[in-house]
Amino acid sequence: MALQQHRARVVVVGGGFGGLQVVRKLRRAAVEITLIDRQNFHLFQPLAYQVATGALSAAEIASPLRVIFKRQRNVRVLLAEATGFDLERRHVLVGRLPNDEDAATVDYDLLVVAGGSRYSYFGHDDWQRFAPELKSLDGALEIRSRILSAFEAAEVEQDVERRQAWLTFVVVGAGPTGVEMAGQIAELARDTLRRDFRAVDTRASRVLLLETADRVLTAFPPSLSKKAANALERLGVTPLVGHTLVDVAYDSVVVQTPIGAQQRIPARTVVWAAGVTGSALAAKLAAAAGADVDNAGRVTVGPQLALAGHPEVFAIGDMVRVRDSGGEILPLPGLAPVAMQEGRYVARVIRARLRGKDSPPFRYVDKGNLATIGRSKAVADVKGVHLSGFLAWITWLVVHLFYLIGFQNRLLVLLRWTFSYVTRGRGARLITVPPDIADEERTHDEPRKLTCA
């Protein structure tokens, strides 16, 4: 299909890791691009946990899309939520516009959908209220407020058991996000806050890391999982592998232990870092194309990352699974490099089509896997070379700085990390989201006299 008669209209839905690459790599192509996103910024999700623990502030991991594409004249940014697709008429439906107009449609010649994923509560959406997730900036800010508020509550709590519940933090899911989150909460309690409170000893905090599988970081080789678990324990985290969350309430979690017993653990702060499912856009796209989504809510695309029967509609990133030319599903992890490589690939396919050429199928180049645990501690599996400790940590720092969007943010984050490394401090310890406590969750003791320490 050659598209040379007029400047092809390319619509990209989602300015995350995948969508951003598509737009960037089309900067010299003779196309008119519309980038639709429901938020006005690109979020660097791999560092969301550092916002949630006060190490970085929100603006340091988020870059406004208009700033990113200020100099790219062939792109316009549309702040709106994509609500559906009409593949026959070739337009994207968008919801309320910023000027309050109800809805609109955006026509395309070529469409790329990169809506990402969302956390899955495994059918227990009611848990979200007590166990917020880290997928969005709002989620990270809410978690930060909850963690910091828990220490404030412990400071004024006189009842020993209730105080311990305030000082108990449960992280659900021991993938890279859960491991990073648990390590940071432990460092916050043991190092950063140690001298800031008068009545409570923050070092008495418990950080529990729940994982159904029999080890942490299951995507890594067992030897690195073991090293990560040991490093977590040294930091004061208790990895509870083989433990499954069965219920969560405002003041406790119930877990099933490896022998099948159920145990209730009083805890006031729970962070969700377990499974993800494809963006709602995957199901909408599948429905429009008469296709299905898999158990993880992902739509299937072919070897050129296009929908079957619709070579003009591409989908990439967390919301897709890829079927190769032989009909086999490629085992691709839900990681930023996958979405980025897919984004770059789709831009190449589009450029080739503009010249009337075909493209070889998508091929993922696995550059390795990294997870950090805390100060000077990380694990890395780079093409079979296993690293741990300081070297892995430096690798992690360099890679994350390299991929962070914008020179200013790179510089700010580097300065923040250097400062935190030297002082063990965290500059963004603000409680900005008031705790959402229902009346039945409040303690109704008689007013007591608070004394200054």
Ligand X SMILES: Cc1cc2nc3c(=O)[nH]c(=O)nc-3n(C[C@H](O)[C@H](O)[C@H](O)COP(=O)(O)OP(=O)(O)OC[C@H]3O[C@@H](n4cnc5c(N)ncnc54)[C@H](O)[C@@H]3O)c2cc1C
Interface residues with ligand X (CB under 6 A)? Answer: 13-19, 36-39, 45-46, 48-49, 81-82, 114-116, 134-135, 176-177, 279, 281, 317-318, 334-337, 339
Which of 45/304 has CB closer to ligand X? Answer: 45
CB of 342 within 8 A of CB of 305? yes
Which of 3/315 has CB closer to ligand X? Answer: 315
Write phi, then psi, for 77 (nearest 5 degrees): -100, 135
Catalytic residues: 180
Q: How far is the CB of 174 from ligand X (least distance, A)?
A: 13
Q: How far is the CB of 190 from ligand X (least distance, A)?
A: 22
β partners of residue 210 = 172, 240
Which of 175/236 has CB closer to ligand X? Answer: 175
Q: How far is the CB of 313 from ligand X (least distance, A)?
A: 15
Which of 187/342 has CB closer to ligand X? Answer: 342
Which of 148/181 has CB closer to ligand X? Answer: 181
Q: How far is the CB of 46 from ligand X (least distance, A)?
A: 3
Q: How far is the CB of 434 from ligand X (least distance, A)?
A: 23
Which of 139/239 has CB closer to ligand X? Answer: 139
- How far apart CA 38 and CA 15 sit, in angstroms, is 9
Closest-approach residue to ligand X (CB): 16
Q: How far is the CB of 365 from ligand X (least distance, A)?
A: 14
Kindly report the number of other CB atoms within 10 A of residue 365's CB atom. 8
Which of 36/106 has CB closer to ligand X? Answer: 36
Q: How far is the CB of 289 from ligand X (least distance, A)?
A: 17
- How far apart CA 52 and CA 34 sit, in angstroms, is 32
